[in-house]
Structure formats: C-alpha cells, structure tokens
Amino acid sequence: MEPLFVVFGVFGWLINLIIVFYLLRVSVRANEQVEALKEINKKQDAQIDLLIQIAHREK
C-alpha cells in the first residue's frame, strides 16, 4: 500500500473515534438529564397529590 493511503486511513479512523466519543458523551449527558427530569416529575406529582388532599380537607 502507498503511505498516503495509510495516512488517510489512520486519519479517518481518528476522526471517526472523535465523533463516536462526542456522540457517546452527549448521549450519556442526555440520559442523565432525562433521569433528573423524571425525578423532578415524581416530586411534583407528590406535591400535587398533597395539595389535592389539602384542598379536599378544607371543603
């Protein structure tokens, strides 16, 4: 093989590895944010349930 093809092949692999690294990193961060939003949603549901109970007691 010609050295130029080897250089371009290695360069292509490096670019692909960098792209995959950043895609995986973004994916992990998105998953963490989804989990945080789910936790917030659970807490808000609990607060809404408490407010409904309080509202029914006052009637």
Whole-number Å distance between alpha carbons of 35 and 39: 6
Residue 59 has a pLDDT of 65
Whether pTM exceeds 0.75: no
DSSP string, 16-55: HHHHHHHHHHHHHHHHHHHHHHHHHHHHHHHHHHHHHHHH
Q: What are the pLDDT digits (tens) for 7-34?
A: 999 999 999 999 999 999 999 999 999 9
The residue ranges of every structural domain in the chain are 20-59
Token couple for 38 = 């789910």
Token couple for 23 = 């895609």
